Structure 1
């Protein structure tokens, strides 16, 4: 299975739609999460037909800003749980087996003074029962200074708040290949800035199910954000020898050393 997450910065530009169509044709993602669509339900329904998806859920923009959309293939049973201007939360059920997981498309608040509202929302979405969880989107924040190039340094308190909510939700970064930075202000002077704002994160039970996960940052197209392509399978790739997959046991959680061990094994990405 696979998914594309993209802050497309508006679908009114024919070039943006062409680029999106090309991505879908090339990658054939099962799920498509779009942010800043600036498009109403009627416009998104037309796009759904054009792209060949059967399922569509839309959060309409307010005025000339915002707008979210989640599209999916008919082969997957998907149930929308809740939504807001900043997220779409759904349960995905696999038709061929008794397994379900949570998919959250997330859009962090662009205003740094209101970023705390986004982290409160993410914490709330975690819920009280451990469910396999994949969360993707534009979080509008970085975890470390190394994820930013140019302009002034990010305040440590901002990054710490992001890291803290990921740890609270047991969400680990899924890594990436391709360009390191997913956003650029595209300026040509000394204010040129790049940041890794878009990513995929998952909890241990989701990663235990999908043992082969790849996150690829695609080339920049008609937006200041790069699309993120996430592929995931429940089988290890063939051809690897002498390397066993990491298995997480829920029974380890009460152990006081569990958190420290996991962080050490994952290089602090847990």
Structure 2
């Protein structure tokens, strides 16, 4: 199974679509996660469905911020969407003779306050399921302040 995650920071351009179609063709993707497409509504649905996957789950961008697209080929892999939010999509993945597993794809809000809600949700999912679990995406988190260059100061999440 091939799963690709890509933070595109804008999917409205022809360049995005041409590059994505070539990547899909060359890597034979079964599942594709695109975060931060920065478009929503009919335009997002039109571009996402034009990429050739049989199934699409979209969480719209808010203005030009965020957004999540999860796409898959239902003839090769089956996804049951079990939860969505403005920062994540969670699905149960199964295919052929393999045991099911969870997939949560993420584009975390840059706001620490809003991002905290994502971490609470992920804690909840962890307590509800015993399946293997893959978390993928852009968490907008740092391990240490030395990883940040410029911009506003940040508060690191410490458990």
Unaligned runs of 5+ in 1: 165-270
Residue 66 and residue 149 in structure 1: after superposition, are their counterparts in 2 closer, same or farther (change >3 A)?
A: closer
Q: Indicate the residue corresponding to 1:255 in structure 2.
A: none
Query: Residues of 2 paired with 1:87 and 1:79: CA distance?
Result: 14
Unaligned runs of 5+ in 2: none
Q: How many angstroms does 1:66 deviate by?
A: 2.6
Q: How many angstroms does 1:69 deviate by?
A: 0.9
Q: Indicate the residue corresponding to 2:125 in structure 1.
A: 125
Q: How many angstroms does 1:118 deviate by?
A: 2.3
RMSD value over aligned CA atoms? 2.5
**Number of paired residues?**
158
Q: Write the mapping of 1:92-103 to structure 2, written as runs, cut at 5 A.
A: 92-94=93-95, 96-97=96-97, 99-103=99-103
Indicate the structure (1 or 2) with the bigger Cα radius of gyration.
1
8 Å CA contact 1:41, 1:58 repeated in 2? no
Query: Does 1:82 find its partner at 2:80?
Result: no
Scaled by the length of structure 1, what TM-score is found? 0.52
Q: How many angstroms does 1:38 deviate by?
A: 2.7
Q: Which moved more, 1:130-139 or 1:27-36?
A: 27-36
8 Å CA contact 1:106, 1:139 repeated in 2? yes
Q: Indicate the residue corresponding to 1:65 in structure 2.
A: 65
Query: Residues of 2 paired with 1:27 and 1:44: CA distance?
Result: 23
Q: Indicate the residue corresponding to 2:39 in structure 1.
A: 39
TM-superposition CA deviations, 1:9-29 (whole Å, max 9, x none): 121122222222232222222
Q: Indicate the residue corresponding to 2:28 in structure 1.
A: 28
